């Protein structure tokens, strides 16, 4: 009946909001909460729990760099389907990826929270395994997060990896073929450029991922997340202002930039705006154990060209006008 459908729609809407709220609160506060909890327990009668965990933390310190500890139940949670439907997030394939090869996927732009990249590459909700059979996908994020007690267990369970040299080298050299590691290349610097209607990517001087691809003969694949920058409004500080200097200082010390952003509902919820993640054509990369600067520059140039072409070819079908241009800085 009509009433049943309305109730079902309202329930679905509520579940979508709840799943995104859980993710946003995790993103913003979980690490700090876990750290405070573990320190607090040290001063209570439950101190042995905290002490035992810290012993475990020391013994398990290098696990994130050795492939992590993926838990399929976490990646398959029904909550991620509701998370996907909130925006919604859609994953689009434009070319075949051979499961007998390894790939380094560069995802752009970072946005405020990389909601699209998380949904498409760290959960099963967008159907990556069905679109690219035989490929195992892992999203690499800020390495410092894997040093935070308790939080590290949760993010490892979701299949996330630290974007460190040791971690990426382990994935591309010790895990056979069929690995696709996703790196949000622009990182903190790109998040500061995030704003609705803006298509700016920070990649011109980011060459480490290209060098990595050459060292392990992994093909490069540009990925563009259309709509990612439209999920939040950001208060941007001009270059040289006190606010921007403070953001840059924290980025230098901590590896991330605190963004002053506004969304809907409690101001921290992203807008319900479609996010379409388009996986582009692979760029064949030869194996070069010690690549020269000329080789790195050459394949970096091919990558930027591939990313620009991907944006131009897909922008209209992903909701942008013909006049939109990609700015690479």
DSSP string spanning 295-312? HHHHHHHHHHHHHHHHHH
Under 8 Å between Cβ of 229 and 197: yes
Contact 152, 145 (CB under 8 A): yes
Distances (CA, A) of 180 to 15, 144, 221: 31, 22, 9
**DSSP tag of 18:** H
pLDDT, tens digit, 9 for 90 and up, residues 292-329 = 999 999 999 999 999 999 999 999 999 999 999 999 99
In the chain, how long is the greatest CA-to-CA distance?
67
CA distances (Å), origin 14, targets 6, 82, 113, 221, 275:
12, 9, 21, 36, 20
All structural domains of the chain: 2-232+270-328 (3.40.1130)
Q: What angle do CA 152, 255, 270 make, to 5 degrees?
A: 75
Angstrom CA distances, 56 to 33, 63, 65, 110, 291, stand at 19, 11, 16, 33, 39
pLDDT mean across residues, the chain: 93
Alpha helices in the chain (DSSP H): 2-25, 31-41, 47-59, 72-75, 78-86, 115-121, 128-131, 151-157, 165-174, 187-191, 208-216, 242-254, 293-314
| Closest CA relative to residue 110, chosen from 27, 174, 12 | 27
Confidence at residue 253, expressed as pLDDT on a 0 to 100 scale: 74
Which pLDDT tens digit goes with each residue over 145-196?
999 999 999 999 999 999 999 999 999 998 899 999 999 999 988 988 899 9
Cβ partners under 8 Å of residue 63, min gap 6: 69, 156
Q: Confidence band (pLDDT; 50, 70, 90) for 206? A: very high
- Buried b or exposed e, range 275-313, using 16+ CB within 10 angstroms: bbbbbbbbbebeebeebeeebbeebbebbbebbbebbee
Give this prediction's pTM. Answer: 0.93
CB atoms within 10 A of CB 6: 10
């Amino acid at each position: 009946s009509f009433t049943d459908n309305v109730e079902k729609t309202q329930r679905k809407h509520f579940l979508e909001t709840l799943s995104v709220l859980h993710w946003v609160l995790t993103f913003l506060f979980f690490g700090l909460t876990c750290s405070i909890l573990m320190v607090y327990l040290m001063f209570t009668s439950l101190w042995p729990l905290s002490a035992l965990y810290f012993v475990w933390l020391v013994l398990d310190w290098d696990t994130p760099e050795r492939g992590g500890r993926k838990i399929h139940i976490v990646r398959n949670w029904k909550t991620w389907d509701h998370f996907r439907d909130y925006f919604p997030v859609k994953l689009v394939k434009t070319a075949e990826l051979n499961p007998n090869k390894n790939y380094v996927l560069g995802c752009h732009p970072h946005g405020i929270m990389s909601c699209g990249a998380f949904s498409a590459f760290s959960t099963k909700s967008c159907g990556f395994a069905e679109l690219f059979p035989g490929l195992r996908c892992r999203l690499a994020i800020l390495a410092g997060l894997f040093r935070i007690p308790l939080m590290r267990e949760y993010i490892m369970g979701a299949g996330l990896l630290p974007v460190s040299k040791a971690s990426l080298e382990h994935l591309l050299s010790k895990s056979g073929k069929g690995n696709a590691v996703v790196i949000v290349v622009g990182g903190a610097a790109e998040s500061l450029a995030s704003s609705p209607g803006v298509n700016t990517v920070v990649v011109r001087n980011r060459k480490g991922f290209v060098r990595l691809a050459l060292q392990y003969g992994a093909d490069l694949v540009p990925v563009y997340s259309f709509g990612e920058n439209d999920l939040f409004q950001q208060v941007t500080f001009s270059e040289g202002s006190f606010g921007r200097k403070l953001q840059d200082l924290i980025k230098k010390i901590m590896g991330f930039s605190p963004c002053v952003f506004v969304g809907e509902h409690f101001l921290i919820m992203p807008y319900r705006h479609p996010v379409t993640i388009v996986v582009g054509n692979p760029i064949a990369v030869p194996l070069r154990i010690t690549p020269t600067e000329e080789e790195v520059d050459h394949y970096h140039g091919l990558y930027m060209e591939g990313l620009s072409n991907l944006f131009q070819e897909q922008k209209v079908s992903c909701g942008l006008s013909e006049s939109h241009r990609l700015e690479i800085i």
